Structure 1
């Protein structure tokens, strides 16, 4: 069998680093034979990757579309975990894989990391309200495309561009759309996610946990280890020749349970107060604008990513890949103390 080359972006991040660890630890014979490369921006991170058998490819940043497309052109599989919000980088990766297919005549695959804030509403500002449960057996691409026409959002824009570009160049894409990711990662660099750690850092600075509005809106969650299993399963199935839904029908949810935003903020509050990092276990309600300033993001991302309703049902991953996540809601509630302690002790 000819050598199969896999390119990973975001290998030094939380998701990408954990996925890389999962791939390197896989006992699947085909995955063990993969030639894995990683796009990295910092030269000092290259030796750590080389020591683990991963070939680092240095590039300037995600705006360097030419270098990104060139790197993708040299690989058969690309897993993009660097940023779901960078349209140009994602498009360059898809185009590079299109070049690869044209050069070799072989099938190529693009696995992209997105998030369920794409489906979120605006329950606090009242701009848009839709409290429903989405199934990934529905036409999620069609929903994203129609929603984009009236409410542009960079992460959603990226999904649409990926699928449209893949159609143009004739390759297969798979988008893993995840909710709140919790737990300590297994990567070699960053080991924590974004949402719970950011709420924890803000709570520590304010000496009190906050919630946007009343916090009644509901999201889903997934443990990083269960999510890594899903990425590894994707690679196994694709390399074995399995025919699984792709492109317009290839948006996969990864939820394993759900929680309200108030439950998240209360989890942060309880953990921080027990550690003596917060003055109270009570949660303070703030506006979208206040939260945006505290988080260092714009108001749209603050509401979609930390206050919206975004409820999904993962069916395709179970049905088409045999994904069997192991963590429960008890694991989710146990994560607050663990993550708060890591962040507090690292100050």
Structure 2
């Protein structure tokens, strides 16, 4: 790996979340953090047992800012002063908190623009979005053959900015075009596997499907379950963040495209919702948790109750993507149906069900699904599909 530009000052949002917490763990494990060349500031919301204290109790050299994505001035100032006014080093934002809260991204970008105008230093902005932006309204009825490819971002850019995730994505792309940041929009599909952060370590979709199965006594899918998605292990997603970070700050010059081509996929697994339900049913039946291994279709009156308001979007749509650029940069996923190195674990999406089931038992069978309308930037019932 090429030498990087130091020191590195990272502003991380979502550090107590599933993806953000795993990102924090990856940053703390870096040798350049251990020898003091990487400084980390975490934006952390208050409440829920004092999230900030959870990070502080790690006993590491991390600055904690208590606030949220709605706090414009806090975010702007944190981004603008990312290097403590030393006017040197490499300011970095890794944004994992919410892909559908553009106000937060605007505030951080405003701060980075001010910093650029003051110092002339171009910042790095890595944003965790999602392939929810690629979804249709299939409701489980069919498998779409369309597969988005990030080697050509034309089709991605054509998705309206009124659709989920797209407004924030476009803000980062435009800031990259204007030149005051190097922006990267990472679009993971379903994220699976146990996280490594200080707080939330469970994913969204598989635990929700497990809880639905336990509630109804049978694994379930939306509609006929024919629609197709992809998956990626949380650690492989975070490793792509690190690949992009290292490339962006390489003293030899970055290779990863930004600007209009700032979009990056990272899919390693492919499945239909019916396949996933069948595998979930088989594994939970073997544990004695279900009376039958066979899955069934959800009744319309059950969907919202067991999977939340966005059941059709999150569990019945098509969302297919192909990772291209990440591999050219040296990304080496260690999980999935096609791990790319001989030392990789062969376990993929289906194998994660066992650990996710144990997590569900630890957290409680009655926890509500995490996908809710207040996490989206469009109101339920007004979504228009691209």
Task: Provide the TM-score with structure 1 as the length reference.
Answer: 0.89
**Deviation digits for residues 96-142 of structure 1, max 9, x if unmatched?**
2112212221110100001112112222387x985311110112xx4
TM-fit CA distance, 1:238 = 1.5
Quick check: 1:24–1:32 contact (8 Å CA) kept in 2?
no
**Deviation digits for residues 182-239 of structure 1, max 9, x if unmatched?**
1111111111111111111222222222100111121111111211211111111222
Alignment length, in residue pairs? 337
Which of 217, 226, 231 aligns to 1:221? It is 231
TM-fit CA distance, 1:288 = 6.3
Quick check: 1:30–1:239 contact (8 Å CA) kept in 2?
no
TM-fit CA distance, 1:169 = 6.8
**Aligned: 1:88 with 2:103:** yes
**Deviation digits for residues 222-278 of structure 1, max 9, x if unmatched?**
111211211111111222142320121010001112111112112222232233333
Quick check: 1:91–1:165 contact (8 Å CA) kept in 2?
no
Quick check: 2:6–2:38 contact (8 Å CA) kept in 1?
no
Tell me which protein shows more helix as a share of its residues: 1
TM-fit CA distance, 1:297 = 2.4
Q: 1:210 to 1:281 in 2, by over 3 A?
A: same
Quick check: 1:210–1:265 contact (8 Å CA) kept in 2?
yes
Per the alignment, residue 187 of structure 1 pairs with 197
Quick check: 1:31–1:235 contact (8 Å CA) kept in 2?
no
TM-fit CA distance, 1:287 = 5.4
Classify the secondary structure of the residue corresponding to 2:43: strand
Query: Please, which runs of 5 or more residues in structure 1 have no aligned partner?
Result: none
**Deviation digits for residues 30-76 of structure 1, max 9, x if unmatched?**
995111000001273324423221110111x3222222222121221
Per the alignment, residue 45 of structure 1 pairs with 51
Per the alignment, residue 139 of structure 2 pairs with 124
Looking at structure 2, the residues matched to 3 and 345 of structure 1 have their Cα atoms a distance apart, in angstroms, of 40
1:282-293 equivalent positions in 2, closer than 5 A: 282-286=294-298, 290-293=302-305
Q: 1:91 to 1:256 in 2, by over 3 A?
A: same
Per the alignment, residue 78 of structure 1 pairs with 93
Looking at structure 1, the residues matched to 307 and 214 of structure 2 have their Cα atoms a distance apart, in angstroms, of 13
Classify the secondary structure of the residue corresponding to 1:173: strand
Quick check: 1:9–1:79 contact (8 Å CA) kept in 2?
yes
1:106-117 equivalent positions in 2, closer than 5 A: 106-117=121-132
Looking at structure 2, the residues matched to 245 and 289 of structure 1 have their Cα atoms a distance apart, in angstroms, of 46
**Deviation digits for residues 143-170 of structure 1, max 9, x if unmatched?**
3443316xx3231232123323444573
Which of 255, 258, 263 aligns to 1:243? It is 255
Per the alignment, residue 356 of structure 2 pairs with 339
Looking at structure 1, the residues matched to 95 and 124 of structure 2 have their Cα atoms a distance apart, in angstroms, of 11
Which of 2, 8, 16 aligns to 2:20? It is 16
1:1-347 equivalent positions in 2, closer than 5 A: 3-28=7-32, 33-42=37-46, 44-50=50-56, 51-59=59-67, 61-75=68-82, 76-124=91-139, 130-139=144-153, 142-148=154-160, 152-168=162-178, 170-240=180-250, 241-286=253-298, 290-298=302-310, 302-319=311-328, 321-329=329-337, 330-332=346-348, 333-347=350-364
Quick check: 1:5–1:74 contact (8 Å CA) kept in 2?
no
Per the alignment, residue 370 of structure 2 pairs with none
Between stretches 250-259 and 19-28, larger displacement belongs to 19-28
Q: 1:90 to 1:335 in 2, by over 3 A?
A: same
Quick check: 1:183–1:224 contact (8 Å CA) kept in 2?
yes
Quick check: 2:27–2:33 contact (8 Å CA) kept in 1?
no
TM-fit CA distance, 1:281 = 1.8
Quick check: 1:181–1:223 contact (8 Å CA) kept in 2?
yes
Looking at structure 1, the residues matched to 79 and 127 of structure 2 have their Cα atoms a distance apart, in angstroms, of 13
